[in-house]
Structure 1
Amino acid sequence: MKFIRASFFLVAAMLLTYCSKSNGGAEPTPVTPSDLEVFATVNPDNSGNVTFTATAKNAASYDFDFGNGTYQNVVAGVVTYQYPAAGVYTVQVIAKSKSNKTISKSIQVTVTISSSLLWSDEFNTPGAPDASKWGYDIGTGDNGWGNAELQYYTNRPENVIVADGVLKIMLKKESFSGSAYTSTRLLSRGKFDFTYGTVEVKAKLTTGGGTWPAIWMLGSNFSSVGWPACGEIDIMEYRGSDPGKIHSTLHHPGRSGGNADTKSTTIANANTAFHIYKAEWSASAIKFYVDDKLYHTFPNNSSIPFNHDFFIILNVAMGGTFGGPVDPNFSNTSMEVDYVRVYR
């Protein structure tokens, strides 16, 4: 009996070996995931947190594209992601099997975020601008700050002062250190730098041909990578020779100088009344407003330099490539700023 049993097991083993060899030793047929379902739960506290749950048959992992240039691989299919800005996002999920077969599905999610004040200057303390918030660029810069501008920037009270609840940047016709005009360029570099948020500035602009007031931001890595690699976000630019026309512009590699991404809108009383100039900056878009009226939307993505720290600049230039010819009768003007506020 022992011999019969041993023979039986030997024959069974030979048959199994034969079957295996007859199949060529091939791997099992690759399996494609199926029945992919994706659900999103938006946290009601307006924090930007969204919990995503993905399920699929035969899935070994899931790739999430959160719709703003951010990606994450998740094995279990459940992930919580905090969006840095409010908006409507198209989220794509790819389910992968162990054999790398895939299936995908997209859903839309609406994110609401409560804004909180991150930084501000209300300009309520008379005298020089707050040194804890603002520094200065002094002089004429290379080639008039790269734009053939005509002014010499100073930090003198003759050119910049806080009075009557507003900041006044004063452009004057006067001979000073070899220049025919003086003004001021304030910047928050090294005192306040940030990534993403809403910048809101209430200001009254200049008068006179050649005047060029600006409210803008520059990438904080400017000194290491140069311009336009650092990126530039012009929230508001204005020509005194073209009253009422407001420009918003973005400079970046391949789209700088006269080839920049720019749009404009027209308002009344830009140089006699205060208006609110605003930019909403997120990983997915930069949106520009005047008095809460949207007029320029620029799609942001990870391939361009608008996803790192920037600092704020307030200045009034004279002439140059944008300001244009100067009115020969010009004597002085000012840009007045009621406040600068940054929300997140």
Structure 2
Amino acid sequence: MKMINLANRAGVLTLILLFVFQSCSSNNDTTDTPVVVAPDKISVEVDVVGKTAEMPNGDGSGKINLKIDAPNAKSYKVVVNNETKEFTSSSFTYEFTQPGTKTYTIDVTAFNGIKYTNTSATVNIFVARKLIWSDEFNTDGAPDSNKWGYDLGNGNGFGNNELQYYTNRPENVKIEGGLLKITAIKENYQGSQYTSTRMLTKGKFSFKYGRAEIRAKLPAGGGTWPAFWLLGDNIDTAGWPLCGEIDILESVGNNPNVIHSSLHSPGRSGNTPDTKTTTAPNSTTEFHIYAAEWDAENIKFFVDDNLFYTYKNSSTTPFNAKFFVIINFAMGGNFGGAVDPNFQRATYEIDYVRVYN
């Protein structure tokens, strides 16, 4: 009996092992390995928003709709305007922001797992300028505190041996009759010989790339030094001139009607070589528009929309980050020069300040 039981047990064990072996063999034979194929016949359709026969480059919004056709694709990568976008949808919307009419290349890659295929397309697009910040100075009284703050104190503290003490008193700064009026006054104040105002948007508004412009009538008199300029947002951490400075307008009363536009950066500070001048006739009796248009390639300076200086920007300069706006009226100093002994007061009048994308 014992021998028979052992034989039976051996037979059962053999049958079990045979069944397991056959099952494993059967499973290996019937398991399907997924076949990954590269997306093929990829095509890209670019729809320019607002495109018509009269406006072949769009309505100025800068928007495009992209439709990708690539069988077997499960995900996509689009590189446009130096930006990379990744997504799973075959439809994609993009908005260009640099003003003007430009041609862009759009590189598209369609993926199916690790397999991929790619193509490219070009598009001509028109982007209209959009006002992103302004002050029209239409409400009499003090400037809008939501838009402007002040640098206060002795002019010697601003690095140019200036003679004024900056205040925010209504005697020195006010809005009246649709104009911002910054007045420099000859008076003894806090140990200084003159008072004036320096106002800025630091902590309230800054921007990277675009057009900044001011419509202004300049003060007259030897020693006057009005300015409109941009300073890097990182001034407090990087310091000057590493933060960068873009002087859109500087003029001195000792050399009337001559407009200076300059840039300051590391190794090119103080008496910077990056500067040009032009003239604005009757600048102390008539309003003119002083502007700069700034992007990654160039910074262009204008008076009344007449281009007179183009600075070649690059990735090695500080001029690829956010900057804030400054308006000030200095007296004397390294650039303003000697003050006319008969000077009593003068006013820098601003109609508006506008910043576009």
TM-score under structure 2 normalisation? 0.72
Q: Cα deviations across residues 191-229 of structure 1 (Å, max 9, x unaligned)?
A: 222222222211100111111000111111110111111
How do 1:4-19 residues align onto structure 2 when only pairs under 5 Å count?
A: none
The equivalent residue for 1:288 is 301
The equivalent residue for 1:249 is 262
* Matched length: 307
Q: Distance in 1 between matches of 2:128 and 2:306?
A: 20
1:131 to 136, 139, 145: 145
- 2:278 is equivalent to residue 268 of structure 1: no
Secondary structure of 1:158's counterpart equals coil
Secondary structure of 1:203's counterpart equals strand
Structure-2 change in CA distance of 1:157 and 1:73 (3 Å) = closer
Q: Distance in 1 between matches of 2:49 and 2:194?
A: 55
Q: Distance in 1 between matches of 2:103 and 2:316?
A: 19
Structure-2 change in CA distance of 1:275 and 1:281 (3 Å) = same
Q: Is the 8 A contact 1:84 1:196 kept in 2?
A: no
Give, in angstroms, the shift of residue 263 of structure 1: 1.4
In structure 1, the gaps of 5 or more residues are 1-36, 55-60, 97-103
Q: Distance in 1 between matches of 2:92 and 2:298?
A: 24
CA RMSD of aligned residues (A): 3.7
2:231 to 212, 218, 221: 218
Corresponding letter in the other structure for 2:137: F
Corresponding letter in the other structure for 2:177: D
Q: Distance in 2 between matches of 1:305 and 1:192?
A: 18
How do 1:82-161 residues align onto structure 2 when only pairs under 5 Å count?
A: 82-87=95-100, 89=102, 109=124, 111-115=126-130, 117-140=131-154, 143-161=156-174
Secondary structure of 2:268's counterpart equals coil
Give, in angstroms, the shift of residue 38 of structure 1: 10
Structure-2 change in CA distance of 1:87 and 1:40 (3 Å) = farther
Q: Is the 8 A contact 1:201 1:339 kept in 2?
A: yes
Q: Distance in 1 between matches of 2:184 and 2:48?
A: 50
Q: Distance in 2 between matches of 1:95 and 1:52?
A: 10
Q: Distance in 2 between matches of 1:294 and 1:108?
A: 28
Q: Distance in 1 between matches of 2:199 and 2:269?
A: 23
Q: Is the 8 A contact 1:160 1:167 kept in 2?
A: yes
Q: Distance in 2 between matches of 1:52 and 1:298?
A: 35
Q: Is the 8 A contact 2:103 2:125 kept in 1?
A: no
Q: Distance in 1 between matches of 2:126 and 2:195?
A: 46
> Comparing 159-168 with 257-266, which one deviates more in the overlay?
257-266
The equivalent residue for 1:311 is 324
The equivalent residue for 1:207 is 220
Q: Is the 8 A contact 2:79 2:108 kept in 1?
A: no
Structure-2 change in CA distance of 1:139 and 1:110 (3 Å) = same
Q: Cα deviations across residues 19-76 of structure 1 (Å, max 9, x unaligned)?
A: xxxxxxxxxxxxxxxxxx999765443223467899xxxxxx999684xxx3549899
Structure-2 change in CA distance of 1:241 and 1:72 (3 Å) = same
Q: Is the 8 A contact 1:62 1:93 kept in 2?
A: no
Structure-2 change in CA distance of 1:128 and 1:75 (3 Å) = closer
Secondary structure of 1:127's counterpart equals coil
1:327 to 340, 346, 349: 340
Give, in angstroms, the shift of residue 270 of structure 1: 0.3
Give, in angstroms, the shift of residue 105 of structure 1: 10
Give, in angstroms, the shift of residue 147 of structure 1: 1.1
Q: Distance in 2 between matches of 1:231 and 1:87?
A: 26
Corresponding letter in the other structure for 2:265: H
Q: Distance in 2 between matches of 1:327 and 1:163?
A: 27
Q: Is the 8 A contact 2:136 2:353 kept in 1?
A: yes
Q: Is the 8 A contact 1:51 1:79 kept in 2?
A: yes
Q: Distance in 2 between matches of 1:124 and 1:75?
A: 47
Q: Cα deviations across residues 274-311 of structure 1 (Å, max 9, x unaligned)?
A: 11112222233222211121222223333222222211
State the structure with more CA Rg. Answer: 2
Q: Distance in 1 between matches of 2:326 and 2:263?
A: 14
Q: Distance in 1 between matches of 2:45 and 2:313?
A: 26
Secondary structure of 1:321's counterpart equals helix
Q: Percent identity?
A: 53
Secondary structure of 1:297's counterpart equals strand
Structure-2 change in CA distance of 1:91 and 1:235 (3 Å) = same
Q: Distance in 2 between matches of 1:249 and 1:38?
A: 45
Give, in angstroms, the shift of residue 83 of structure 1: 3.1
Structure-2 change in CA distance of 1:121 and 1:94 (3 Å) = closer
Q: Distance in 2 between matches of 1:190 and 1:207?
A: 32
Q: Is the 8 A contact 1:147 1:321 kept in 2?
A: yes
Secondary structure of 2:271's counterpart equals helix
Corresponding letter in the other structure for 2:147: K
